[in-house]
């Protein structure tokens, strides 16, 4: 039997090196050309892999065939970064102004590359096949997952697993849940058209700022009074844009926000009520409006059997495991789970002593890199529980 823990430990320096290289050289969603080429160059060092590049757009899919027939299990890692300035004082700080890996995707990719290398070295242990999916553009809707699925990323795959490092949980804790684990995130943009004028003569104008203020104050009633209390939903207005100076009434006011839901019927209700409320307020104030609502990724829904596999893997490794409450964040791993049975889980990466507890999408975000060892162990144990190694 292979001592996987020892093998991972021996590769840890290289695992950290890959992660830090990516952290220093981040690229935004849909612009990950150099990242694609770096990952491809690493995979091409492994001559037993079957590799497809530019899947969807910037994705890569690699397959390692075993010596015996069996299941085909896929693992996915994303590799895009965010438009955030890296404010950490570390040797591996981002070298790209205004761009950083603030969500752990560098760690996801380094972990999957290491898993790929380990299995390549021990191909004789495989009683089936393993597919490694390296995905672009998770951070920016419509995302890279669906185009990769449409381009055959899951062809021949029986089951799929994915991991996300999580700074809000202690390093190496494993968290997930049955069924819906992450919400479906939507985007809306609303522009109210009024009639501009002098700030001293409001009676000659139609003030869109007053109207949009009334709308923002009223829209939370959709959650509190239109939504069944048993259901879950969030409406957040995150941006307001109106006016250019203090003494002029603007022609227009624009807001942008997000809706988070788990149930498609709740999503339908909130979208309908957002516009119904907007229409009524604008009619009452003699204004017009433009309503742009864009649906985001589907809900991430874990499958029961694969949830049990993840839980069993964590237990077998003597890791702290806990079911979590549903999370209102979104993830396009949902597209894979619509096509194949699978499970998405979190590996804690928060450690105060290593300054890795800043929230995701924060300028000070960092990983406790020990978490990458844990996820590599989890992936290998999942393959063992599934009977592939």
Give yes or no for a contact between 240 and 213, defined as CB atoms under 8 angstroms apart.
no
Residue labelled with tokens 């109106």: 242
> Does 251 participate in catalysis according to the annotation?
no
Structure token pair of residue 129: 């096949």
For residues 360 and 351, what is the distance between their CA atoms, to the nearest angstrom? 14
The single residue of 138, 207, 331, 366 carrying the catalytic annotation is 138
Give yes or no for a contact between 317 and 381, defined as CB atoms under 8 angstroms apart.
yes
> Does 138 participate in catalysis according to the annotation?
yes
Contacts of 363 (CB under 8 A, 6+ apart): 84, 85, 86, 87, 88, 100, 102
DSSP letter assigned to residue 205: S
Give yes or no for a contact between 316 and 381, defined as CB atoms under 8 angstroms apart.
yes
For residues 257 and 259, what is the distance between their CA atoms, to the nearest angstrom? 7
Other beta carbons less than 10 A from residue 386's beta carbon? 20
Length of the chain: 389
Structure token pair of residue 5: 């823990």
Contacts of 92 (CB under 8 A, 6+ apart): 20, 23, 24
For residues 156 and 126, what is the distance between their CA atoms, to the nearest angstrom? 16
Give yes or no for a contact between 326 and 360, defined as CB atoms under 8 angstroms apart.
no
Sign for the CA dihedral angle at 265, 267, 268, 270 comes to positive
For residues 248 and 104, what is the distance between their CA atoms, to the nearest angstrom? 45
The single residue of 80, 86, 332, 366 carrying the catalytic annotation is 80
H or E element: which one contains 208? Answer: helix 208-219
In angstroms, what CA-CA distances link 355 with 111, 158, 363, 366?
Answer: 20, 39, 12, 7
Largest CA distance in the chain: 83
Give yes or no for a contact between 334 and 182, defined as CB atoms under 8 angstroms apart.
yes
For residues 32 and 86, what is the distance between their CA atoms, to the nearest angstrom? 18
Q: How far apart are the first and last CA of the chain?
A: 10
Residues marked active site are found at 80, 138
């Amino acid at each position: 039997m292979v001592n996987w823990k020892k093998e991972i430990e021996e590769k840890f320096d290289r695992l950290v090196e890959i992660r830090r290289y990516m952290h220093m050289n981040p690229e935004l969603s849909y612009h990950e050309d150099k990242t694609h080429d770096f990952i491809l160059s690493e995979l091409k060092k492994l001559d037993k892999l079957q590799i497809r590049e530019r899947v969807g757009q910037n994705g890569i899919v690699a397959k390692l065939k075993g010596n015996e027939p069996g299941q085909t299990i896929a693992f996915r890692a994303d590799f895009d970064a965010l438009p955030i300035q890296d404010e950490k004082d570390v040797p591996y700080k981002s070298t790209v102004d205004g761009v950083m890996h603030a969500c752990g995707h560098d760690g996801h990719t380094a972990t999957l590359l290491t898993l790929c290398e380990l299995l390549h070295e021990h191909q004789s242990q495989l009683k089936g096949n393993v597919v490694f999916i390296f995905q672009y553009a998770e951070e920016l809707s419509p995302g890279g997952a669906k185009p990769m699925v449409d381009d055959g990323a899951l062809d021949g795959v029986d089951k799929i697993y994915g991991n996300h490092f999580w700074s809000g949980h202690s390093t190496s804790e494993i968290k997930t849940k049955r069924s819906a684990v992450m919400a479906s995130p939507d985007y809306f943009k609303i522009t109210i058209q009024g009639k501009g004028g002098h700030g001293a003569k409001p009676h000659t104008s139609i003030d869109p700022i007053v109207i949009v203020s009334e709308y923002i104050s009223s829209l939370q009633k959709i959650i509190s009074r239109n939504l069944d209390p048993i259901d879950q939903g969030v409406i957040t207005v995150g941006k307001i844009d109106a006016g250019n100076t203090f003494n002029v009434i603007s022609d227009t006011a624009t807001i942008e926000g997000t809706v988070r839901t788990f149930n498609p019927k709740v999503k339908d209700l909130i979208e309908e009520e957002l516009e119904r409320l907007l229409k009524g307020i604008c009619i009452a104030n003699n204004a017009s409006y433009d309503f742009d609502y864009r649906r985001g990724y589907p809900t991430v829904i874990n499958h029961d059997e694969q949830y049990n596999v993840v839980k069993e893997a964590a237990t077998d490794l003597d890791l702290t495991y806990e079911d979590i409450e549903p999370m209102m964040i979104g993830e396009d791993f949902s597209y894979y789970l619509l096509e194949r049975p699978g499970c998405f889980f979190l590996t804690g990466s928060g450690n105060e002593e290593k300054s890795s507890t800043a929230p995701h999408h924060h300028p000070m975000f960092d990983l406790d890199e020990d978490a990458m060892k844990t996820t590599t162990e989890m992936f290998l144990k999942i393959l063992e529980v599934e009977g592939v190694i």
